[in-house]
Amino acid sequence: MITVATIITGAGVFFFLMPSHLSVGSVSGLAVVLSGLTTIPVSVLTMVMNVLFLLLGFLLIGREFGAKTIYTSILLPAVVGAFETLFPNFESMTQDPFLDMVCYCFVVSIGLSLLFTRNASSGGLDIAAKILNKYLRMDLGKAMTTAGMAVAVSSILLYDTKTVILSVLGTYLNGVILDKFIFGINTKKKVCILSEKHNEIRNYIINDLHSGATLYTAVGAYDYQNRPEIVTIVDKSEYAKLMSYLTKTDPSAFVTVYTVGEVLYRPKK
């Protein structure tokens, strides 16, 4: 799946980013600009920069970049290089830089979403974003956009104003997609339940959903009665099952739901 996702990402770079000379925030986008300045192939420049970012990541963040990131960092420029060999002098299919930008964001978002669901990344600016995230405490999506904007603005060194504007717009659009659809994949739901059938609900969460839960003592402000409150954090599929179960088991249960952006925990054996 990681290989397929990387091929999809490489296809987006070659078929939409390179023909229109767009510098949408990514290492490949920076490579497009540098290739225009130096005539070195985009695939070679992407490989060199990915290796440099990997070394920077190991030095500043540590060994969080496992075999998956190393694999994708090497595979992506190899895929672009293969497309360069198979389709020499390739020209834009749409003949419209704006459509190329939109198509690039759409295709690459599919590839990146598949990579993130497999706990992998495409390397390059992903590493730069994680460095900003660690040292400046920036949200990962905003860090990706910030790093990408620096790359997009670099296109002013070589291309006209229209290309620069499209590169900036594409970087912003890409950041929105990352925030909403890619980094949102790992979001979970925190469900707080007050119910007379708390034992049945607790058993369902633990034995059927195979999830965890915490019990708190809640005191009613109206009657000062103590009631157990069940708090559990579940993923999207578990959340749907839990809400369906609650509707059938106790329609009068008092339930509040919160969106959780990140959870750090050590899974039970």
The pLDDT profile of the chain, 269 residues, written as one tens digit per residue, is: 889 999 998 998 899 888 887 767 677 777 877 887 787 888 888 888 888 887 887 777 666 556 677 888 888 889 988 998 999 888 888 888 888 888 888 888 788 777 776 766 776 777 777 777 778 777 666 777 777 787 777 777 777 787 788 878 887 887 777 666 656 666 789 999 999 999 999 999 999 998 899 999 999 899 899 999 999 999 888 999 999 999 999 999 999 999 887 777 776 65
Token couple for 42: 């985009």
Check if CATH label 3.40.50.40 holds for domain 187-260. no
Q: Helices 42-60 and 67-86 sit at what angle, rounded to 10 degrees?
A: 170
pLDDT at 179: 66
Cβ–Cβ under 8 Å, residues 39 and 110: no
H/E element holding 97? helix 97-117
Three-class SS of residue 27?
Answer: helix
Closest CA to 124 of 269, 9, 261: 9
AA letter at 137 = R
Q: Where in the chain are all domains bearing CATH 3.30.70.120?
A: 187-260
Residues 251, 254, 259, 260: is their CA dihedral positive or negative? negative
Residue 157: CB atoms within 10 A of its CB come to: 12
pLDDT at 182: 59
Measured CA to CA, the distance from residue 101 to residue 116 in angstroms comes to: 22
Cβ–Cβ under 8 Å, residues 47 and 74: yes
Q: Helices 125-136 and 140-153 sit at what angle, rounded to 10 degrees?
A: 120
CA 73 to chain centre: 16
Closest CA to 20 of 211, 143, 158: 158
Cβ–Cβ under 8 Å, residues 129 and 143: yes
Residues 221, 223, 224, 230: is their CA dihedral positive or negative? negative
